[in-house]
Structure 1
Amino acid sequence: MGKFTRRLLLSGLTGLFASTAQAFSPFVVSDVQVRGLDRIPEGVVFKDLAIGKGDKVDQQRLAEAIRSVFKRGTFQDVTVARDGDVLIITVEERPTIGLITIDGNEDISDEDLKKGLSESGLGKGEVLNRSLLDKVTQELERQYFAQGKYGVKVEVVTETLPQNRVAITLKVNEGQVAKIRQVKLIGNTQFTDEELQTEFLQGAGNLWSFFSKNNQYSKQKFAADLETVRSFYQNRGFANFKILSTQVSITTDRKDVYLTVNLEEGDQYTIGEVKIAGETRVEKSRLTSRLFVASGALYARQNISASRDGIVRILGNDGYAFANVNVIPEVNETTKQVDLVFFVDAGKRAYVRRINFLGNVKTQDEVLRREMRLVEGGWLSNASVQRSKVRLERLGFFSAVGVETVPVPGTDDQVDLNFSVTEQPSGSVNVSLGGSSQGLVYQFGISQNNFLGTGNQVGITLNKSDATTNYSLSFSDPYFTLDGVSRSFSVYYRKTDASKLSITSYTTDSIGGSLSFGIPLDENRRLRLGITAEQTDIITGSSPSSQVRSFFADHGQDIAIDPTIGFETLSLTGSWSYDTRNRGLFPDAGSYHRINAEATIPVGDLQFYKTSYENQYYFPIAKNWSFLLRSSIAYGDGYGQTDTGVNQSLPFFESYFAGGGSTIRGFDDNSLGPRDIIRTPATEIGTPLPSSNDTIRIDNSAVGGNLRLVAGASLYFPNPFSEDSTSTRFSLFVDAGSAYNTHFDYSDYQELSATERAKIPDFSDIGRYRASSGVSFDWLSPLGLLSFSYAFPLKEQPEDVTRNFQFNIGSQF
C-alpha cells in the first residue's frame, strides 16, 4: 500500500502554510487520528479541525484546518500525515507555566505584578505563549516608565520542569528614577514661570528634594500638575485656557528628564447673568443662597463647581437624591463675560424602603438602628445618611463604617440603605504603668463598652498599688429612654496615700456612689445631671503640710491630738457638652467642648464647688494628617463657713495638680503646682525669737492648687512604618500649663527677712507655667491601647521633677 507524508507548518509571523512533500490529489477521509495529546482532550482538536469521516479534503482545506488548530495557541507544532485514506494529525503541546518568580522588584510588589500578569493571561497553570510573554514584559517596563524609571530592564528566564511545564523567572533591574532637570513653560504672559511652578508637585528640585523627592519624574504626577495649571487659570477668569501640547524629553542615559508645556492662556472673563432653570422642586431662593458666583466676579471654575454641589446637596437633603444639575455657560466674546445657567432636574423624591446592617456579628441591630437619623418609609436625606454614619463611627464599636444607597429594582423612587460595619474589640483589660520618684505605679481594670452587644457600658476597676487602692463598679445605659436619655450609676471605694504620688503626706479613705442622667439637647449637645454621696476619712502623715494643719484647725480639730478626721458630703453634678468630632477613636475633624460643675449641698460637712471647661479642635490637613488644639481650665473654692466661723476653702484633697500624660508630658505625675511652705520658728537657747527671724524651706511634695490651666497643640501624622492608619499614629506635641493657688498672698510673710521671702515662689503667678515638647505614639493593638511619649521640658522651675519617657498600656478583648 503506497504511503506518502505531507508536513504542514504554520509560521507565527506570516501565518503561511508550508509543505515538506509534494502536492497530493484530494481524497475522502475514512478516519482521523490525533496523536501527541497529553492534557488537552481530543474533542478540542476535532472541533478546531472541522474535518471528519467522509469529508473530502484538499490542500487548501487542510491548510485552513491547521490554521484553526494553531489559532487556539495551545500547540507549538502540528504535523499532518496521510496513511491511505486515514488522516493523521500529530501535535506537540505547548508547556504550561508551573511557577512564576519575580526577583529584584521593590517599587511594585510581587502581588501587584502577578495580578497584572494573570489578567494578561500569564499565570500559573496557563499555557506558555512566548509572544504574550514579550507583551507582558513590555507592559511591566511601561509600568516602571510611568514611575519615572526609564532605565528599567526586565529579563525573562525559563527553566524546563517535569510533565511539560516551565518555571518563569522575571529578573527586574528597576534602575533609578529619572530626575527632572528643567520644566519649560511656553505661552504664559499673565503669570511668571515661578508663579506657575510653585503649584507643581514636581520640579527641577531644591534643597528639600532629598526628603520630598519632588524632582523625581512620575507620569501620574505630571498629569496632576497639568490639571493643577488648568485649574489655576480657570479659577482666575481664563475660561478658555488650553494646554496645547506637552513634551517629555529623556537623555540618552535615561537619567534626566526635560519637561515642556505649551499653553494658551486666552482672555480673562467675568461672570455675567446667573440663572437657575428647570424643575427645582424647592424654592429657588434656597438654591440661590448656595451659589458662590455673582455677576461681575471673575470666572472661577471652583466656585461654579461649589455652586453646583450646593444645589445638589439641598435637593438631596429634601429627598431628591438623584437630582441632576448641569451648568450651561454662554460666552460673550464681545463683553468678555460668561452667562451661567444652572439647569436643574430634581427628578422624583426618593424614599427609603429598608435599612440593612451588615457585619455586626456581636452588636445587636437595635444598637445601630437607634443611631439612624432617617426611618424606613421616609424620604431619603443625604445629610441624614451621613449623620447616621458619623453617629455609628462615634460609638467606638467599629473600626470602619460604610454606607451604600441601592435603588430598588422595578421602582424609580425607592432605595435600600446598606450600612456595613467592621467590629473592633470594645472590652478592655487596662494596665497602666509609670515610674515616679517613689517607685512603680500600676493599675488594673476591666471595662466593656458594648456589653453583650447591647451598647451598655459596664466597668469593674480593681486597682492596687503602692499608692492607691481603688475598687469600683459602674454601669451606663445610653438609651435608658427611647429618646436617648442615658442613665449611669457607680459605686466605689478608694484609698490613696498621697505621699507616694509626689503629693504632701496624708491618706484618704473614701466610699461613695453616684447616679446621673444624660439628656440630649440636639445632635451635638448633651446635658448631664447627677448626684454623688461620699464618706471620706482623712489620716495625716508624720509630717503634715501647713495646708493640712490649717484645714484641721479650721474645722476645730487639733491634729496633734487626733490626726484623723471624717466628712460626709452630698454633691450635685452637672455638665454640658458639644461634640462634632467625626470619630470616637482617633478623630481628625470637628471639635469638642465640655463644661463641668460640682457643688456640695449644705446638708454635708463640707461646702465647696468645682468647675471646669475643656475644648479640643481638630483640623484636617491631608489624608491621615490633622492638627489638634486643646485647652482646659479648672477652678474650685469653698463657700459658707465652718463650725468655727472660718470661711470654707477648697479642701486640700480636692486640689488640682498638673504633670503627667494627661496634662503636661515630660514632668512627673502630679508634681507641678504649689508646694508646701515650711516655716521654722527661730529660737536662741530655747527662747523664741521674733518671727522676722523665722526660716523658710520649700518642701518637695506638691500640695495642689485651686486653679489649673493647661493648653497644648499636636500634629498627628500616619505611621511611616505601616500603612494601617486606623490603629496607629504618631504626633508631635507641645504642652503647657500648671496648677496655681489663687489665695496665695505674699503679705502673709511680710515680716520675714528679704532673704527668706526670696525663697518663697509666688504660687499664684500665671507666669510660672511649665512647657514641654516631644513625640508620642498611639497604637490600638490587639492587646489594647498603647500610648508612648518622649518629651523634654521647654520651661521648668528649679523644684520640678522631669520624666522624659512615659507610657500607658491597655489590653482589649
Structure 2
Amino acid sequence: MRLKQTLAPLLAVFLLVNSIYTAKVAEIIVRTQGAVTTDKDFVLAYTGIKPGDTFDRAAVVRDIDALKATDRFSFVNIEAKQIDPDHISLIYVLELKPRLKSVPVIIGAREIGQRKIRNLLDLKVGDPVDDSLLAVKTSKIVEEYHKRFFHAARVTWSIELDKNEEFADVVISITENAKSSVRSITFTGNKNVSSRELKDILYTKTWNILSFLNKRGVFEAELLERDRVIISEYYRNLGFLDVAVENPEIYLSFHKIYIVFNIREGNRYKVDKISLTGNSIFDDKTLAPYLTLKPGDIASSGKINNIQTAIENHYRSRGYIKTYINTSISNADEPDTVNVSFALSEGTLVYTGNIEIRGNVQTRDSVARRELLVYPGEVFNQPALKRSERVLENLGFFSSVVSYERPTLLEDRLDIVFDVTEKPTGQFMIGAGYSSVDKIIGYVELSQGNFDLFGWPSLKGAGQKVRARAQLGTRRTDLELSFIENWFLDRKLSFGVDLYYRERGYLSSNFDERRISGAITLGKPLKVFFRRANLRYGLEEISIYDVSDN
C-alpha cells in the first residue's frame, strides 16, 4: 500500500512531462518583466515556433538564442503551461535592456583622452546597455591602459535608470594608478654567457629615466615568448645544443615588474665530422665551399642552418627547386662532439613557364615585368624569384607582393604568379609659415610616383616620377618642376628633366635677383664601385633688376 502511495505521484509527473513533449502549442504569450513592455510582433519575428506546432525542445533553445542575439534583452526564458492533455501555452518571459539616454560620463581619465575612450566604448545614444555589454566594452579600455604601462588601471561602471526604467545614463569610472614598467630582468643558470650579453639580445628592456621618450620598459607578454626563443637560439649558435630555457617567471609589485629567466645550458659541442650524402648532380668539390664548418669548430646551429640554406640555394638557383636537405646532428665518439650530416634529395630540373602579374589595376604590366629577375623558358631560379618580390616592393607602387609557383601540364615546367596590391602613389602638400628673412611664405606641392606622361586622362601607371612645387612669399618666389623616366628608351637608363624659376628680394636693398634654370640628367646603375653613374647638363640665367639709382 505504501509503495502505491509513493509511485502514484511519480507516475503522474512522468505522464505530465511526457504529455508536454507530445502536445501542440495552442498559443504564444509574451510577458515582460520590469516597467517597460516589448512589442509581441518583434518577438514573433525572431522566433520560429508558431501556434499549432508540436512542442520541440530544440526549437525552444533556438528561439532563446535568437532573442538573445538581438541584443535587446537582458533576460530571456520560455515557460510551458499545460492547458489540456493535448495543448500547451508557451510563455516568453523577457526583460528589456534600458537604452542609453546620453553620452556616457567618463571620470578619472587623464592619461587617455575622453574622445579616445568614447571611441573604445563605441556606444551611441539609444543603444541597449547592460552589465554584460559594458564588461566587454570596458575591457578594451583596460587593454589600452596596459599598452601605456598602466597595468594597475581599474575601470568600473554604473547604470543609472530613469524612473520608467526605459532609458539609462552610464558612468565610467577610471582609476589609473601608477605606470607599470619592467624594473629588472635577471637570469639563473647562465654560467657561460653574461647577463649583460643576454639582456642586449632581448626584445623586452628595463625601464630607465628616458623611457617616456624611447618606450623602454614596456611590458608585453607576447614578447616574453620571443625572448625565450631568442635566448635558446643564441646559446645554440654558441654550441650549447642541449640548452633549455623555461618560461619566464613574472613578479608584480604594484606597478613594478620583475622578470626571471631560468636557463639550463648543458654542454658545449664541437664538430667531429661533417658529411654530404645523396649529391649526384653536383659533386663534393663543387659543394665544398658551402661547408664553412670544419672539424674542431664550435657546433653552431646558426652556421649549420646557413650551410643548409646555401646548398639549397645552389640547387634551386639552377632549376632543381625540389631539392630538400635533411640535416642531422648526432653524438660522436669523443665527449662533447657531434657529427653533422647533410642528406640531399636532389629532385629534377625545372624550367620557368608563363609569368603572370595580378592585381595591377593602374600600373602597366610591362612596368612591373621589366623589373623581374626571372624569365619564361629559363631554368627556374627560386632565389631570383624572391629577389624579384623585393624589387617590386621597392618600386613603391604596391603595398604587398606575393609570388607562388603554379603547376602546368608539363612536369618540368612551373608558371609563376605575382599577386600585387596597389597603393596610392600621389601626394599633395600645402603649408604656410613666417621667417625673419622670407617674411610670410606659403607653398603647395604635387607629386606622383607612378606617373604616365602620355596616359591621358588618368596620367598613372608608367612608373615615371613627376613633382611640381610652388613657394610664394612677400620677398621670394620659387617654381619647380621635375620629371624622371627610369626606363628611358626601354633600357635601364634614367632620364630626368629639372626646371626652376626663382626670384629673391632680400639679397640686397639695392637690387632683386631672378634665376631661370633647366637641366637634363642621364643615369645608369652600376654593379661595381659606385652604385650609380649620372651625367648632368644644365643651363642657368641670372638676372639683376630693380637696381637702385644709388
TM-score w.r.t. the length of structure 1 is: 0.47
- String of CA shifts for 1:524-579, please: whole Å, max 9, x gaps: 865566878x7989999999xxxxxxxxxxxxxxxxxxxxxxxxxxxxxxxxxxxx
Contact 1:45/1:69, CA 8 A, preserved across alignment: yes
Please show how residues 644-723 of structure 1 align to structure 2 within 5 Å: none
Aligned with 2:191 (options 189, 192, 208): 189
CA distance in 2, matches of 1:460, 1:135: 50
CA distance in 1, matches of 2:286, 2:473: 62
Q: Evaluate the alpha carbon distance shift between residue 249 and residue 402 of structure 1 in structure 2; reply closer, same or farther with a 3 A threshold.
A: closer
Q: Evaluate the alpha carbon distance shift between residue 429 and residue 212 of structure 1 in structure 2; reply closer, same or farther with a 3 A threshold.
A: closer
Q: CA deviation at 1:482?
A: 3.5
What SS does the corresponding residue of 2:355 show, helix, strand or coil?
Answer: strand
What SS does the corresponding residue of 1:374 show, helix, strand or coil?
Answer: coil
- String of CA shifts for 1:252-309, please: whole Å, max 9, x gaps: xx33344333321111111232233446865665654344433321122332333333
Counterpart of 2:489 in structure 1 is 481
Q: Evaluate the alpha carbon distance shift between residue 32 and residue 147 of structure 1 in structure 2; reply closer, same or farther with a 3 A threshold.
A: farther
CA distance in 2, matches of 1:313, 1:102: 62
Counterpart of 2:371 in structure 1 is 371
- String of CA shifts for 1:605-626, please: whole Å, max 9, x gaps: xxxxxxxxxxxxxxxxxxxxxx
Amino acid across the alignment from 2:404:
V
What SS does the corresponding residue of 1:260 show, helix, strand or coil?
Answer: strand
Contact 2:393/2:401, CA 8 A, preserved across alignment: no
Contact 1:505/1:540, CA 8 A, preserved across alignment: yes
Is 1:235 the counterpart of 2:243? The answer is no
CA distance in 1, matches of 2:134, 2:501: 74
Counterpart of 1:33 in structure 2 is 27
CA distance in 2, matches of 1:487, 1:445: 22
User: Larger helix proportion, structure 1 or 2?
Assistant: 2
CA distance in 2, matches of 1:409, 1:461: 50
Counterpart of 2:404 in structure 1 is 406
Q: Evaluate the alpha carbon distance shift between residue 203 and residue 485 of structure 1 in structure 2; reply closer, same or farther with a 3 A threshold.
A: closer
Contact 1:442/1:465, CA 8 A, preserved across alignment: yes
Root mean square deviation, CA, Å: 5.9
CA distance in 2, matches of 1:509, 1:257: 63
Q: Evaluate the alpha carbon distance shift between residue 312 and residue 95 of structure 1 in structure 2; reply closer, same or farther with a 3 A threshold.
A: farther
Gaps of 5+ in 2: 1-9, 31-39, 69-74
Gaps of 5+ in 1: 1-18, 56-60, 116-121, 544-813
Aligned with 2:49 (options 39, 46, 51): 46
Contact 1:148/1:178, CA 8 A, preserved across alignment: yes
Contact 1:517/1:528, CA 8 A, preserved across alignment: yes
Q: Evaluate the alpha carbon distance shift between residue 289 and residue 368 of structure 1 in structure 2; reply closer, same or farther with a 3 A threshold.
A: same
Amino acid across the alignment from 1:408:
R
CA distance in 2, matches of 1:336, 1:164: 77
What SS does the corresponding residue of 1:423 show, helix, strand or coil?
Answer: coil
CA distance in 1, matches of 2:167, 2:407: 49
CA distance in 2, matches of 1:297, 1:38: 81
CA distance in 2, matches of 1:203, 1:514: 51
Q: Evaluate the alpha carbon distance shift between residue 232 and residue 370 of structure 1 in structure 2; reply closer, same or farther with a 3 A threshold.
A: closer
Q: Evaluate the alpha carbon distance shift between residue 96 and residue 461 of structure 1 in structure 2; reply closer, same or farther with a 3 A threshold.
A: closer
Amino acid across the alignment from 1:77:
N
CA distance in 1, matches of 2:480, 2:247: 72
CA distance in 1, matches of 2:61, 2:471: 83
User: Larger strand proportion, structure 1 or 2?
Assistant: 1
CA distance in 1, matches of 2:375, 2:385: 10
CA distance in 2, matches of 1:218, 1:515: 53
Contact 1:94/1:128, CA 8 A, preserved across alignment: no
Q: Evaluate the alpha carbon distance shift between residue 470 and residue 242 of structure 1 in structure 2; reply closer, same or farther with a 3 A threshold.
A: closer
Q: Give the structure with higher Rg (CA).
A: 1
Q: CA deviation at 1:416?
A: 1.1
Contact 1:95/1:166, CA 8 A, preserved across alignment: no
Q: CA deviation at 1:330?
A: 1.3
Contact 1:97/1:123, CA 8 A, preserved across alignment: no
What SS does the corresponding residue of 2:426 show, helix, strand or coil?
Answer: coil
CA distance in 2, matches of 1:306, 1:140: 45
Amino acid across the alignment from 2:154:
K
Counterpart of 2:293 in structure 1 is 293
Q: Evaluate the alpha carbon distance shift between residue 374 and residue 489 of structure 1 in structure 2; reply closer, same or farther with a 3 A threshold.
A: same
Amino acid across the alignment from 2:289:
S
Q: Evaluate the alpha carbon distance shift between residue 272 and residue 173 of structure 1 in structure 2; reply closer, same or farther with a 3 A threshold.
A: farther
Is 1:86 the counterpart of 2:87? The answer is yes
Q: Evaluate the alpha carbon distance shift between residue 127 and residue 314 of structure 1 in structure 2; reply closer, same or farther with a 3 A threshold.
A: farther
Q: Evaluate the alpha carbon distance shift between residue 521 and residue 430 of structure 1 in structure 2; reply closer, same or farther with a 3 A threshold.
A: farther
Give the paired residue count.
499
Q: Evaluate the alpha carbon distance shift between residue 327 and residue 486 of structure 1 in structure 2; reply closer, same or farther with a 3 A threshold.
A: same
Counterpart of 2:425 in structure 1 is 424
Counterpart of 1:547 in structure 2 is none
What SS does the corresponding residue of 1:248 show, helix, strand or coil?
Answer: strand
Contact 2:355/2:415, CA 8 A, preserved across alignment: no
Name the % identity.
17
What SS does the corresponding residue of 2:489 show, helix, strand or coil?
Answer: coil
CA distance in 1, matches of 2:502, 2:207: 63
CA distance in 2, matches of 1:88, 1:434: 81
Q: Evaluate the alpha carbon distance shift between residue 167 and residue 235 of structure 1 in structure 2; reply closer, same or farther with a 3 A threshold.
A: farther
Contact 1:146/1:220, CA 8 A, preserved across alignment: no
Amino acid across the alignment from 1:255:
H
Q: Evaluate the alpha carbon distance shift between residue 314 and residue 420 of structure 1 in structure 2; reply closer, same or farther with a 3 A threshold.
A: farther
What SS does the corresponding residue of 1:408 show, helix, strand or coil?
Answer: strand
The worse-fitting range, judged by mean Cα deviation, of 517-526 and 449-458 is 517-526
Q: CA deviation at 1:404?
A: 0.8
Please show how residues 413-492 of structure 1 align to structure 2 within 5 Å: 413-425=414-426, 450=451, 451=453, 452=455, 453=460, 454-455=462-463, 478-485=486-493
TM-score w.r.t. the length of structure 2 is: 0.65
Contact 2:276/2:344, CA 8 A, preserved across alignment: yes
Counterpart of 1:358 in structure 2 is 359
Amino acid across the alignment from 1:275:
S
Q: Evaluate the alpha carbon distance shift between residue 317 and residue 422 of structure 1 in structure 2; reply closer, same or farther with a 3 A threshold.
A: farther
CA distance in 2, matches of 1:216, 1:472: 46
Q: Evaluate the alpha carbon distance shift between residue 479 and residue 270 of structure 1 in structure 2; reply closer, same or farther with a 3 A threshold.
A: same
Q: CA deviation at 1:236?
A: 1.8
Q: Evaluate the alpha carbon distance shift between residue 180 and residue 424 of structure 1 in structure 2; reply closer, same or farther with a 3 A threshold.
A: closer
CA distance in 2, matches of 1:135, 1:500: 63
What SS does the corresponding residue of 1:308 show, helix, strand or coil?
Answer: helix
Contact 2:270/2:297, CA 8 A, preserved across alignment: yes
CA distance in 2, matches of 1:124, 1:347: 66
Q: Evaluate the alpha carbon distance shift between residue 536 and residue 147 of structure 1 in structure 2; reply closer, same or farther with a 3 A threshold.
A: closer
Q: Evaluate the alpha carbon distance shift between residue 488 and residue 542 of structure 1 in structure 2; reply closer, same or farther with a 3 A threshold.
A: closer
